[in-house]
Structure 1
Amino acid sequence: MKVRITIILLLIIISSQLNAQELLPFVENYNKSNYQGDNQVWNVAQGSDEAMYFANNHYLLRYDGVKWEKNMLPNKTIIRSIMVDGDKIYSGSYKEFGYWFRKAGKMHYTSISKGKNVFDEKENEEIWKIFKFNNKIHFQSFNEIFVLENNKIKKTKLPFLISYCFVVGNELLIASVEKGIYKMNNSKIEKVKGWNVLENNVIHAIEKYQNKTYIFTKKNGIYIDENGILSPWKNPLNELVKMANINVAKFIKNNQLVIGTANKGIYIFDMNSSSFKNINRSNVLMNNSILSLGVDKENDLWLGLDNGIAHVEVNSPLSIFYDNSGVLGSVYSVAATEKGYLMASNHGVFTFEGNQFSMIPDTEGQAWNISKVNNKFIIGHNEGTFLYEKGIFSKLNNINGGWNLAKSNINNSYLQATYSGVIIYNDVNNLNQNRLVQGLLKPIKYVAQNRKNEIWAADNYRGLYRIKYNDSDENTEVENITQRGKIANDFGVKIFEFRNEILFLINNSWFNYNAISNNLEENEFFNSNFKFVSDIAAIDDNHFLVLKEGFLYHIFANENKFVWNVIQEKYYKGKIINDNLKIFKDKDNYLLNLDDGFISLQLKYGGTQNTTVKVEAFNADRLVENKSKINYNSEIKINVISGKFGAAKPNLFYKINNGSAFIPIKQGLIILNNLSSGQHNVIIYKHDGLNYNQVSNFEFNVAKPWYISFWMILLYLVLIGVILYLYYKWNKMQYVQKLELRDEELKHQKEILEMELKAENELNIQEYEKHILELELQTKSSEVAGKSLSIAKQSEMIDNIQGILDSEMDFNKLKSEIKKAIKINAVNKHEWETFETNLNQIHNEFIIKLSKKFPNLTSKDIKLCIYLKMNLSSKEIAPLMNISFRGVELHRYRLRKKLNLNQEENLSKFLLTL
């Protein structure tokens, strides 16, 4: 009991902490890390170029939806006020006012007051407000008003300290700090009658709404002048803003009043319903001090804070339920009730009704899903399934983990996917009667049915099952279809029902079941449109949501065409719960769960996407005009500026150089680098859901690399010329040196050749002399041999004759013996043949030469030539040839004829030369 009381007290405390939670417009916060400026933002205005301008202390900030720019005054004084008039942005500072204009992608400043002795040296004047009245620009300090007309400045000094001037209708009202409110007519000041109660009040705004004048004081709340009667605003909000200190106030579109306070953020009051929303630091703002307030052309708010800037999309079709306390946790499902909303989170089940936010008792823990069946809400919870009906919360069963609930397409039964399998509710009027499908005790994430006696179930981890049963609800078969189909990657199978057809998302591809072939088949229609989506959630028969590559798309199925509408990433970036995307349709809105709450978006919202965009390209912070040139290997940043900051911001894509892919433009910025030299064309497209329509294009030329530029080519030519010239000179020098070397070599070669020739000649001479000597030796040898033979025979014959003479006395016999001895000692035929053979061998070379040169010579002629070469006389030759001396002479004569020798030529010398 004590524990229960403690829990109840805790819930009461939690509820009291969450009373301020409500559906709020989407807010974008920008801090110093975004715009790199100062803290306070004193003034906000939108320029004619649709960019937002901010007076941020020392800086004039500019934001076009893509990038922030900051600029300082030449004297670096604090900018307190700005006002837009045409292409000029007027600014006021300490003893300085002038205007800014944009040229070549940069802001330029022109001073109006400089050099005109506008300010009194004794006064410390700051321009806190700039406004236009009667077509004249007015610059207001707390003591004076400076009017610019025809480039001349007219100064009006006020007799009292003022807070601000206000243009209300056709009147200029001046709010003094102590003496009330005055009117100014042609430099004349007169006090407004009947408004004495406003004396000693600091007035921060005066607005006219429905013929009533609203005066906003700093500390005493709001007063209304109706038909000349001034009275406090009779509304509970008035008491709240008194304590909050009003800084700014403005009536905006849709009958809304916006009040910016010093310590409670902003209040957005609906004049029709008398309800209000408070946006402050406890829910979404960065701080509670609102210094300035601006409205853009989309009728959304821009807040200048004491520290930062906030963009509040009050005109957006989207609302967000924030929970910065962490009590709610991550919302896994949300549903709309008659009085508010019901949320299932990882902390339990919560209700939000009548701006009161509280946890339902006994629902702590993980809640997965909320489904509306008739007027009942079935809630899948970690501890079982709960029922919420007419504010009463009860438990249906204890089966853990109701992930999803699906209606059968063949009857009125409902199927629930749980930790333990599939539960069937046959009677929606009696949900306590239910049964657990047997044979599949697995954690089932998705379930569907479109044929009788057949259920499809997807495992939370992997696998797709087909459950078949008979009319008696008895299971007949449970089959793992993905395993049978041999699908390798069947993790995280998703089931999606579209027009009574069940589709399966398996490993980024879509399948359907063919009952005839009894197999899964790829669905070409869905694969051609929705391949690679990571999650999908149905809204109704013709609408669903897909998550692809981190982007959410709202899909409208128009017959066989799909209209795609991207939901801007800023609304859900980093807040999508993966694999748990849930959609609940609430009339013309749909509710989408997030990590820290949920969003409500109009289903039929088409937006007011403009069809024209502005392109600004920068290269090294230098504006690049269309069809101009940038340096090679440099980065170009193309800012695609739509002039829209809220929900009407168009969905833009681009192609470069007529590529095939449409590339989404994220945050309005296209960054291109590593581009080849030459012409490039970037075409900008707007996607209307079905088609890509060209809205702009930007052409630029990338210069050739520096190393092939005109001057570098000229330098290369000069260098090549110099190199060729130097090469020519070097080559010529080398050539001359080569010629000199060659001449020197030739000289040396000539000397060497002469020496070689001389040596060769000497060698030839030596060889010749040797040859001559050999010939002479041979000749001498022949002579010696011949003469030796002859001498030997003569000696032998003489010895024989001497012996005969000594032994014989008879003369006749002596005569006969001597003749016989002579005959015996004569050279025989064999000896002559041997002699001739040896002679031929000795003179073989001579014989060959002689025969080749004179082929008509006989052997006898050759023999005579040999004897003559041996330098033998005719007398010596006669016995060798066995002819007479006269015969030798005659033979010599004939030989000369054959050798073609004249009379002067010596035969023996001629033969020696051969």
Structure 2
Amino acid sequence: MKNIGLPKILNYKKSDYKGGSQNWDIEQSKKGNLYFANTSGLIEYNGTSWNKYILPGYTVRAIKISKSGRIYAGGYNELGYFEPDEKGKLVYHTLLKLANPNTKKTVDFVWKIHILNDEVFFQTFSRTYIYKDNKIRVLEAPNRFQFSFVVNNKLYFQDISKGLVEYRNGKLLPLKGTEQLNDTEIWGLLPFKGNLLIITLDKGLFIYRNNKLESWDCEANAFILKNNSLGGRIFNNEYIVLNSVLDGIVICNNEGKIVQHINNKKGLQNNTALSSFIDNTGNLWLGLDNGISYINENSPFTYLGSSFDLSSVYASAKYDNKLYVATNQGVFSHVWEGSFKEESFNFIKGTTGQAWNVNVIDDILFCPHNRGLFIINKNGSLTIVDDKKGYFGLKKLKGTNYFIASNYHGFSIIEKSAKGYKFRNQVTGFNLADNKYDTDGKNVWIKKNGVIYKLTFSDDYKKFSKITTYNSIDKEIEGITSLQKIRNTIYFQTDNRFFTYNASKDTFVEDLNMSALFKDLPKIRYCVEDNKGNICYFYGDSSMGMLMKEDGGYNNVIAPFTALTGNLVYFYESVNTIDSRNIFIGLTEGLAHYDPEFKSLPASSPKAYIRNFIFNQDTLFKANMPALKNTKIPYRANNVKFTFSSPIYDNPENTAFSYKLKGFDEQWSHRTNVPVKEYTNLQEGDYTMMVKVINSYGTESEPATAAFTITPPFYRHYIAYISYIVITVFSVFYIRRTMKQKIRKKHYYQTLEQRRLYLEKESKIKQEQYELEKEIERLKNEQLRVKILTKDKELVNNSLQVAKKNKMLNGIIKRLKEIDTEQMDDKLKLQFNKLQKTIQKELNTDKSWNNLEKHIKNVHFDFLKRLKEKHPTITPREMDLATYLLMNMSTKEIAEIMNISDGGVELARYRLRKKLNLPRKENLTGFLMSI
């Protein structure tokens, strides 16, 4: 147990684990998962994610994990166990149903659970329920149980009237002399040097030996009497963890001397520790009244940070039995006595501001500071060497009383005289500044902006008489990464290859031994040698390792320092080695104390788990299943998702996973901190998900695997392929048979078709012959009709001529009648009368007009019939007029035929239009032709 600084503390708030504030009990499974009895249920932490499981009554006060992995839990009016179902999900099973109905009503809180000789004890205030072989029997309290404990395979109870009693063969046997503790609560009972250590709530610590109870008078007891206690744990067989109500926890040795005190001021989120637990890696967990805390006790590192009033540390040095620390706020000191458990650092007055360094030269403590160069005296006062400019560092020039100091304007000479140290002069000729420089006495070497400068002093050290620049070390190597002094030799380094400067040839020569030393290391930025000959190297953005000097060689130590990754002060990394067990490293938030000889528990290989396997809206909790069986997934659910976990708690931020889906991925994935991987649209086939975890020390685990098979879609299943073959064979047979039938049927239908075509052709010929005959008949009829129409026209014309002749004859007769026959002689009168009679006879004997009307009616019989059907009210006279109009006769011709005037024809036409209901704009003749 380290007594300098504090271990790393990780705090988990209730918002992190999504539970209640109080955590009453802690257990760890074989797989490394941690379980907390929380006011809202059972909380599980697997190193990657938090999970919560509920039991009736919600509150869980006690848990215990059996060898089989069953998690027994007890809460308010409830007791039972959690066990994974067939899918690996933790499911709660109540045992209260096995108890006597009369005892169920008064269960109250289950405060403790113990497993002893295959029996599970659920202890409440009034009784203890003992579960074995799926049965429950009850152990009644003599008066009232307080709490119970198992020590060295023996079960003890505290009864408020009989004191401590031992359970043996179903009976409770009192421990003599413990009745005096009846007025207090016993919260802890621990094995102690072959006896019992009793931890009470408010009466302190007691040792029970030889049937006697005695107070343990020690530093730890005084702490408990002041702050009250809620139990404790044995830690590493050498120390005792004591939980307090008011002031966090203390860890004491077997003599009762407090080695560590951790409370709210030193990093805990709450001062009331309800429970404590040592996990399988030797680290401490605390169940607090509000939250959960992890304390990394099994580590060679402890930290001196804000609780010690330190901020970013740029350098540290031990001087006159004090530890001095240069920070961005100034210089602080602490008495070096090997114990830092209570005291904070003291501020050195006058050093307010950025202190770049503290280093001891010739038993003088120099402090290069933003405001100048100071000397810190043993009494804590300051001596100003130069306060005109800021300083980065100071190095002694061999063989002189001079020091070369790097300041904000370049370099200056500090002179040592009988009166002390004083500023001598600013070295002119070069005004660039940096804290990474060194000197061989004649030259100053400095790297700036990727260029190495060799600055050669003048004889009086007042200027640089020559400045030489080097852009590379070797023709084959570009650039220069760093310069550093190791074993009093200045080395120039690029790509882990180290060179020295040959002044006679003005070239760089590789030191093969040094290059070989760094050959297999990460690409470093620069390195520095401490005062014990160890070589500290820095790589990446903020990582380090150390080549520890031993037996004439070096041992590369890198794994422990991964705990510091990301916390070093970039470019101003500092390492202060005081002795083999005390190495201080500057951090952005204080100091880290490293003890290389710290005996930590051997680091076990990390273990990776496939936490969940999610597919088709179903989840398999693989991490809880005893065996990872092959899982068959239908093709429609070929999107799968995996979540990973690993019970690594010391540096969870540096835990990484690498995965490979065998059957899909060809290579392992790059390391990732995301514990989730999803695959979509996987083809059918056999797959194996492989996951390995890499802890913060770079150690890889054996891969965890989960095999699964994506079955093909029904149309690509092997049964489907057999069906395809059967169907193909049947199809070939069926098609061949069908083709033969088709060919025969085709021949048959071809014969029928030929016969049909022959018949059709014959029928067509007959039809064409018939149509031809009809056409001939039609043409004959048409010719005949034309002839008839022609004759009709001729007849009409003849009739009209006759009508004209008769009209003329009537005119002659009328004129003859106007002649006075009295003046004629008889002979002439006789001839006149004879002529008149001849004309009259001709008129009376002419029947052509009647024949004309009869002929017209016969020719246009169908027209007259249709006209009469459509217009029944039409008169014969109007029908004649319609016939004449159909024949396209003129008004004059119609007037002559009908023996009426032209005006009479127009009047008749008007009456006919009205009878036919024709609009004024419609042509009468056209209408008649359309009938």
Q: Give the TM-score normalised by structure 1.
A: 0.65
Q: Deviation of residue 555 (structure 1)?
A: 4.6
Instruction: Quote the sequence identity (%).
Output: 22
Q: Deviation of residue 463 (structure 1)?
A: 4.9
Partner amino acid, structure 1, of 2:612: F
- The runs of 5 or more residues in structure 2 that have no matched partner are 623-627, 736-745, 747-752, 754-759, 761-931
Q: Deviation of residue 396 (structure 1)?
A: 5.1
- Is 1:137 matched up with 2:120? yes
Q: Deviation of residue 466 (structure 1)?
A: 1.1
Structure-2 residue corresponding to 1:80: 61
Structure-1 residue corresponding to 2:188: 205
Superposed, 1:460-471 pairs within 5 Å as 463-469=451-457
Structure-1 residue corresponding to 2:438: 448
| 1:365 partner SS | coil
Q: Distance in 2 between matches of 1:475 and 1:662?
A: 59
Q: Deviation of residue 278 (structure 1)?
A: 2.0
- Is 1:458 matched up with 2:464? no
Q: Distance in 2 between matches of 1:223 and 1:637?
A: 49
Q: Deviation of residue 65 (structure 1)?
A: 2.5
Q: Distance in 2 between matches of 1:655 and 1:500?
A: 47
- Is 1:356 matched up with 2:310? no
- Is 1:159 matched up with 2:149? no
Q: Distance in 1 between matches of 2:682 and 2:409?
A: 60
Structure-2 residue corresponding to 1:815: none
Q: Distance in 2 between matches of 1:390 and 1:669?
A: 54
Contact 2:608–2:693 at 8 Å: present in 1 too? no
Partner amino acid, structure 2, of 1:89: I
Structure-2 residue corresponding to 1:594: 587
Structure-1 residue corresponding to 2:28: 46
Contact 1:425–1:431 at 8 Å: present in 2 too? no
Structure-1 residue corresponding to 2:108: 125
- 1:83-134 CA-partner distances (Å, limit 9, x unpaired): 1221222211233323334576543444333344366244142211011345
1:397 to 360, 385, 390: 385
Aligned CA RMSD, in angstroms, stands at 5.0
Q: Distance in 1 between matches of 2:640 and 2:523?
A: 34
- Is 1:278 matched up with 2:267? no
Structure-1 residue corresponding to 2:881: none
Partner amino acid, structure 2, of 1:595: T
Superposed, 1:486-497 pairs within 5 Å as 494-497=482-485
Pair 1:207–1:562, CA change in 2 (3 A): closer
Structure-1 residue corresponding to 2:620: 622
Q: Deviation of residue 294 (structure 1)?
A: 0.8
Structure-1 residue corresponding to 2:284: 301
Q: Deviation of residue 437 (structure 1)?
A: 3.9
| 1:42 partner SS | strand
- Is 1:345 matched up with 2:343? no
- 1:585-607 CA-partner distances (Å, limit 9, x unpaired): 13223211122211112235696
- Is 1:37 matched up with 2:24? no
Q: Deviation of residue 142 (structure 1)?
A: 0.9
Contact 1:627–1:698 at 8 Å: present in 2 too? no
Q: Distance in 2 between matches of 1:22 and 1:369?
A: 22
Partner amino acid, structure 1, of 2:280: K
Superposed, 1:217-232 pairs within 5 Å as 217-232=200-215
Pair 1:445–1:176, CA change in 2 (3 A): same
- 1:508-529 CA-partner distances (Å, limit 9, x unpaired): 9988656577467999948965
| 2:223 partner SS | helix
Greater mean deviation of Cα atoms: 64-73 or 48-57: 64-73
Structure-2 residue corresponding to 1:771: none
2:293 to 304, 307, 310: 310
Contact 1:95–1:125 at 8 Å: present in 2 too? yes
| 2:358 partner SS | strand
- 1:422-442 CA-partner distances (Å, limit 9, x unpaired): 356687999726755443333
Partner amino acid, structure 1, of 2:535: H
**Count, aligned residues:** 703
Q: Distance in 2 between matches of 1:314 and 1:200?
A: 35
Q: Deviation of residue 80 (structure 1)?
A: 1.2
- 1:322-358 CA-partner distances (Å, limit 9, x unpaired): 2158x53322222345655321111111112264322
Contact 1:463–1:483 at 8 Å: present in 2 too? yes
Pair 1:476–1:182, CA change in 2 (3 A): closer
Partner amino acid, structure 2, of 1:34: D
Pair 1:393–1:501, CA change in 2 (3 A): same
Q: Deviation of residue 288 (structure 1)?
A: 1.0
Contact 2:74–2:122 at 8 Å: present in 1 too? yes
Q: Distance in 2 between matches of 1:665 and 1:605?
A: 30
Partner amino acid, structure 2, of 1:155: V
1:60 to 21, 42, 53: 42
Contact 1:386–1:393 at 8 Å: present in 2 too? no
Q: Deviation of residue 223 (structure 1)?
A: 2.5
Q: Distance in 1 between matches of 2:631 and 2:402?
A: 68
Q: Distance in 2 between matches of 1:131 and 1:116?
A: 18
1:99 to 81, 92, 108: 81
Q: Deviation of residue 408 (structure 1)?
A: 6.7
Q: Give the TM-score normalised by structure 2.
A: 0.64
Partner amino acid, structure 2, of 1:599: A
1:367 to 355, 369, 389: 355
Q: Distance in 1 between matches of 2:257 and 2:607?
A: 39
Contact 1:45–1:295 at 8 Å: present in 2 too? no
Q: Deviation of residue 697 (structure 1)?
A: 3.0
Contact 2:23–2:290 at 8 Å: present in 1 too? yes
1:148 to 131, 144, 161: 131
Pair 1:430–1:392, CA change in 2 (3 A): farther
Pair 1:534–1:67, CA change in 2 (3 A): farther
Q: Distance in 2 between matches of 1:207 and 1:218?
A: 15
- Is 1:637 matched up with 2:639? no
Contact 2:230–2:275 at 8 Å: present in 1 too? yes
- The runs of 5 or more residues in structure 1 that have no matched partner are 1-20, 729-735, 741-746, 748-914
- 1:187-213 CA-partner distances (Å, limit 9, x unpaired): 433443223431211111122312443
Structure-2 residue corresponding to 1:853: none
Superposed, 1:846-865 pairs within 5 Å as none
Q: Distance in 2 between matches of 1:402 and 1:592?
A: 22
Superposed, 1:398-797 pairs within 5 Å as 398=386, 400-405=389-394, 415-423=404-412, 432=421, 435=424, 436-449=426-439, 451-459=440-448, 463-469=451-457, 473=461, 475-479=463-467, 481=469, 494-504=482-492, 515=503, 518=506, 525=515, 533=524, 536-539=527-530, 541-555=533-547, 563=556, 565-567=558-560, 571-572=563-564, 575-588=567-580, 589-603=582-596, 608-611=602-605, 613-616=607-610, 618-620=612-614, 621-623=619-621, 625=628, 634-639=640-645, 641=646, 645-646=649-650, 656=660, 669=675, 671=677, 682=690, 684=692, 695-698=701-704, 710=716
Structure-1 residue corresponding to 2:889: none
Structure-1 residue corresponding to 2:842: none
Q: Distance in 2 between matches of 1:230 and 1:409?
A: 69
Contact 1:183–1:192 at 8 Å: present in 2 too? yes
